[in-house]
Amino acid sequence: MKKIIISIIAVLSIAFVFTGCSKREMENTESKVESSINSGVDKVESGINSITDNTNSDTDASHSAKISEKKAKETALKHANLSEADISDLEIELERDNGKLIYEITFDTKSTEYDYHIDANTGDIISSKKEKRD
């Protein structure tokens, strides 16, 4: 990035020499260009930090979920018309999908596999899948 700034300043310096601008005008323009470039660099770094912060927040997503795992599980079981005693292999994961925090809940009965995606902020069922096993 510094090489780019130096190159721009050098080009501007040469341009000012050929156009007959004063040294003071040249320094003012160089200062404005450098300030503008630094501002752009700051914005890029800020964007990178924002992306990094969002990525790190995924590892601590449970602190931003508005409904609990228990509530999400109850919603899935109620929709499937099952009780906890009816199921096995229960798995619950809190994930971020397209920027939305969701619980992915999977469980089995003797003959069926269930898969639910539940919005971790509203408790709404985003998707549900029920698949019979042989």
CA pair distance 90, 77, nearest whole angstrom: 11
93 and 78 both lie in a single domain: yes
Convert the pLDDT of each residue in 108-117 to its tens digit. Answer: 999 999 999 9
Q: Which residue has the higher pLDDT, 9 or 118?
A: 118
Instruction: Say what the pTM is.
Output: 0.54
72 and 121 both lie in a single domain: yes
Domain that holds residue 52: 2-59
50 and 80 both lie in a single domain: no
70 and 118 both lie in a single domain: yes
Domain end marker among 10, 28, 59: 59
52 and 70 both lie in a single domain: no
Look at the chain and report how many structural domains it folds into: 2
What is the C-alpha end-to-end distance of the chain, expressed in Å?
61
Domain end marker among 38, 59, 80: 59
Q: Are strands 125-132 and 112-119 parallel, antiparallel or unpaired?
A: antiparallel
55 and 86 both lie in a single domain: no
CA pair distance 33, 5, nearest whole angstrom: 8
In DSSP terms, which residues pair with 103 in a beta bridge? 94, 118
Select from 40, 26, 43, 104 the least CA-distant residue to 72.
104
52 and 101 both lie in a single domain: no
Q: Which residue has the higher pLDDT, 117 or 50?
A: 117
33 and 68 both lie in a single domain: no
